[in-house]
Structure 1
Amino acid sequence: MNKLINRIVRYCSCALALLVAGCSQSEDTDTTGMEDYGGVTLSFYASSGLAISTRTELGGSEDVQHVQDVQLYIFDKSGVCVASEDVKWKEYFESLGGLPANTADMTYKVKYKGFAVGDAYTFLAVGRDVESSPTYGFPDAITVGNDLANVKATLKAADWKEMHQSELFSGKTILTYNEPGMKGQIDLYRRVAGVMGWFINLPPTVNGITLTSIRITLYKKQNKSVPLLPLAVKPVFKDYIDDEVALDGGEVLVEIPVTAADITSDMVFSKGSYVLPVPAPPAISDDDYTLRVELVGGGNVLRYKRVKLGDGDVLDPSTGSGTGIIDTQGPYRFPIIANQFYGVGTVANPIDMGGKEPDIVTTLDPKWENVEDTLPLE
């Protein structure tokens, strides 16, 4: 079983808390003999009841993740990066016997010593799993001298499909340096969304053509960049970078190979992936969609079902925002938002692809925790 493992996330919209603790006479903030101490102490907290895994492909909507590295970037009052530090999360816990499965905390003393009294500094933290570091080129994606206004994660890997396995977090706080013992807090949130499907009763053939795969596709090619500092989601969705994958097939988020031998009455096909934020599609026709499930054979789409929001979903624009104009296609057009899980079916209720229902209702789960179990992705 593959699981997203939460070693750092707290149970509040998948947030990771980095608390900046004040200097005192406590054991954690004692600076005696700390030659590399620059006046700021960070305490990292991990949630309890968590297991350990080395896999990062999306396996379900559990409120879990597996960040292994956190890089801290410090920007001065003009927005220029003046320091980049690895907080050594993984190394710290491995020295204690292994990455934590229960509540744990780590105290980190910032090494940068160039703080000017009275100046405001931005502390940006980026959390990565083992795949996202090479996928997006971290920690070197941000270097000393870079401008805070331009910080983003952009695909660096040769294969754009590496994004499907790469989980990425970020968060920031702004502190004014007055004296050693600055206090503050950083909450890191996912900068990726999750899309996953569960399917049953696949037809071996469609119109005489043998089924070879089932996939979840986006209305456009995926973006390969995302802002590390979140932008507005409402009333206008701006939290994305329009930077599409150039290669063919970039619209495919999830693809599951199928053979006739695989198809049985109770066989559930399931797979998921991470995806960077995308705005809702424009209103064009009565066949608009953000996501759709496709049955593929002979290199062609044999049949598809559009995915729509459930009744009353907050992302549903169909009521016209109070204008009284009903947009019947509104539930099919929605943005892909960071830190949201888009479930196409569930473990308990997989989508019947042999049924006559023309559309599929997606379940949006901001807590990533409603699925009781996960299924193999490969």
Structure 2
Amino acid sequence: MKKNLFFVAMAAAAMTFGSCSKDADVPTEPMEAGTIEFSLSPNAGITRAAGGRDLYSEEALQKVTDMKVYAFKHNGTSYVYEQVSVLNAAGTTTTEPYFTVEWAEGTASKTYVVKPKFANGAKYKFLAVGLDAGKAAYANLTLTENSTKIEEVALAIANNAAAREAFAGISAETTINTTTGTKVAIELKRVVAGVLGYFVNIPEKVDAVTVKKVAVKLYTTQSASVNLSTKAGSGEVVSSETLMSLEVPTNATVNDGKYVFNQSLPDGVVTVANSLLGGVFTLPKAAPASGAYTLCVELQDASGAMLKNWNVKIDAKQTVDSDESKKLYSLLANNLYSIGKKVQSGTTTPEQPNEPDKPADLSKDQEIVITVNPAWDAMHDMELE
């Protein structure tokens, strides 16, 4: 695909985070007749660490390395999927399932020009999907030409894998102008939620049974797919109620009934003493209809049996002020649900903003409250109950 597309990097707009794309070029010529200029921007900062992005703080980062743009043509009643016929530099035309945009890790935004064979005056919407190095967690989109509607497109988990970070965005309706060229802007946002767990003062025993793990669990199985238009999750990943399981290090010692240890974390991730930190991405999940809390935290023995648990209540400022809404909440796309406070991965006392680490204390009977983050659309500080 990359050899056949006539892509020209034009410009990269600076993100609000102040990061610069290493692919930023200044355009020097007007658009060529018959071209489409795609301006693509994942709505997040950038990070250049190796591999797929793991979640160790509230920082809104992205590590997109795979960017595809799909075309949906208006047929009078809806927008349906269409393969793209592209004129390449050799003057020949090839038909491809999507436009492949060369997107290197560390790119904040990018403008590309392609010369497709679209009819003048035809109306389209374009769907962009950006994945990181963990893209194998997802199946290829299922699209049938002249049949699949843009509002039906879903990104699905492959082979019950754990979800990874994923971005998507849909353009406004675009009318093709083959004389002047056509510009299309697409902002991508995460179609996954993030859940962060940060815990301190982990007891050695509960009723004489040794604690070996701290787990964060969902009230039911995780969603297996997410609709890229509505951002609603559906289906189920088998036996996926446990979002994260953090093990007490085997070399931990004990002082006054609580574990003393240093958790093994990637280079550059710093935590307060004797704490466990972890994070995961998960597809959106609707709130339970009644009964159980959406999330809970468990102390577990070596076999994973629950020794003690806390229900996780969402912060009141992001819900209707009622007990039910504080415990029965949805996990929404592009929201971060934080159990314990971790603003930046590289420090426990960030200067800006002045919000030092505050892991959830597991030596107390308390409420756990989550925060959902807005660059991220929203950040929720959660409480244990």
TM bracket (short chain): 0.7 to 0.9
Deviation at 1:289, TM superposition (A): 0.5
Say if 1:218 and 1:292, in contact at 8 Å, map to a contact too.
yes
Amino acid across the alignment from 2:133: V
Where does residue 152 of structure 2 map in the other structure? 150
Instruction: Write the mapping of 1:97-116 to structure 2, written as runs, cut at 5 A.
Output: 99-100=105-106, 106-113=110-117, 115-116=118-119
Where does residue 337 of structure 2 map in the other structure? 342
Alignment partner for residue 71 of structure 2, among 70, 74, 98?
Answer: 74
Where does residue 293 of structure 2 map in the other structure? 289
Say if 1:9 and 1:64, in contact at 8 Å, map to a contact too.
no
Where does residue 347 of structure 2 map in the other structure? none
Say if 2:69 and 2:126, in contact at 8 Å, map to a contact too.
yes
Instruction: Write the mapping of 1:168-247 to structure 2, written as runs, cut at 5 A.
Output: 168-173=166-171, 174-179=173-178, 180-229=180-229, 231=230, 239-246=231-238
- Whole-Å separation in 1 of the counterparts to 2:200 and 2:147: 49
Say if 1:8 and 1:67, in contact at 8 Å, map to a contact too.
no
| Residue aligned with 1:108, SS | strand
Amino acid across the alignment from 1:295: L
Amino acid across the alignment from 2:157: L
Deviation at 1:105, TM superposition (A): 5.5
- Whole-Å separation in 1 of the counterparts to 2:305 and 2:324: 25
- Whole-Å separation in 1 of the counterparts to 2:295 and 2:41: 36
Give per-residue Cα distances to partners, 1:234-282, cap 9 Å, x unaligned.
xxxxx42320112x2x111111112463321731101000010011111
Q: Does 1:299 align with 2:304?
A: yes
| Residue aligned with 2:74, SS | coil
Deviation at 1:57, TM superposition (A): 1.7
Aligned residues with identical type, % of pairs = 29
- Whole-Å separation in 1 of the counterparts to 2:14 and 2:327: 31
Q: Does 1:252 align with 2:233?
A: no
Say if 1:61 and 1:370, in contact at 8 Å, map to a contact too.
no
Query: Could you say what the CA RMSD is over the residues aligned between the two structures, in angstroms?
Result: 2.9
Gaps of 5+ in 1: 1-6, 17-25, 32-36, 91-98, 232-238, 319-326, 372-378
- Whole-Å separation in 2 of the counterparts to 1:71 and 1:159: 23
Q: Does 1:27 align with 2:19?
A: no
- Whole-Å separation in 1 of the counterparts to 2:113 and 2:102: 11
Say if 1:42 and 1:108, in contact at 8 Å, map to a contact too.
yes
Amino acid across the alignment from 1:242: S
Deviation at 1:142, TM superposition (A): 4.3
Alignment partner for residue 59 of structure 1, among 51, 56, 59?
Answer: 56
Where does residue 40 of structure 1 map in the other structure? 36
Alignment partner for residue 139 of structure 2, among 137, 140, 146?
Answer: 137
Alignment partner for residue 283 of structure 2, among 276, 279, 290?
Answer: 276
Give per-residue Cα distances to partners, 1:8-43, cap 9 Å, x unaligned.
99449xxx9xxxxxxxxx625454xxxxx8421123
- Whole-Å separation in 1 of the counterparts to 2:61 and 2:14: 7
Alignment partner for residue 365 of structure 2, among 344, 352, 356?
Answer: 356
- Whole-Å separation in 2 of the counterparts to 1:135 and 1:9: 30
- Whole-Å separation in 2 of the counterparts to 1:317 and 1:302: 32
| Residue aligned with 1:203, SS | coil
Task: State the structure with bigger RCO (CA 8 A, min sep 6), 1 or 2.
Answer: 1
The 1:48/1:280 distance shift into structure 2, 3 A limit, reads closer
Amino acid across the alignment from 1:77: H
Equivalent pairs, count: 307
Q: Does 1:309 align with 2:314?
A: yes
- Whole-Å separation in 2 of the counterparts to 1:337 and 1:29: 41
Give the TM-score, by structure 1 length. Answer: 0.73
Deviation at 1:369, TM superposition (A): 11
Where does residue 236 of structure 1 map in the other structure? none
| Residue aligned with 1:64, SS | coil
| Residue aligned with 1:89, SS | coil
Instruction: Write the mapping of 1:86-97 to structure 2, written as runs, cut at 5 A.
Output: 86-90=100-104
Say if 2:47 and 2:63, in contact at 8 Å, map to a contact too.
no
The 1:331/1:353 distance shift into structure 2, 3 A limit, reads same
Say if 2:335 and 2:377, in contact at 8 Å, map to a contact too.
no
- Whole-Å separation in 1 of the counterparts to 2:44 and 2:126: 26
Give per-residue Cα distances to partners, 1:318-375, cap 9 Å, x unaligned.
4xxxxxxxx4232111110000011100131001101122x2111121225999xxxx
Gaps of 5+ in 2: 1-11, 22-26, 85-97, 253-258, 262-272, 343-356, 380-385
| Runs of 4 or more above 3 Å deviation | 7-12, 28-31, 43-51, 104-107, 140-146, 368-371
Where does residue 265 of structure 2 map in the other structure? none
The 1:290/1:220 distance shift into structure 2, 3 A limit, reads same
Amino acid across the alignment from 1:203: P
- Give the number of the structure whose residues are more often strand, by fraction: 2
| Residue aligned with 1:76, SS | strand
Where does residue 270 of structure 2 map in the other structure? none
Amino acid across the alignment from 1:293: V
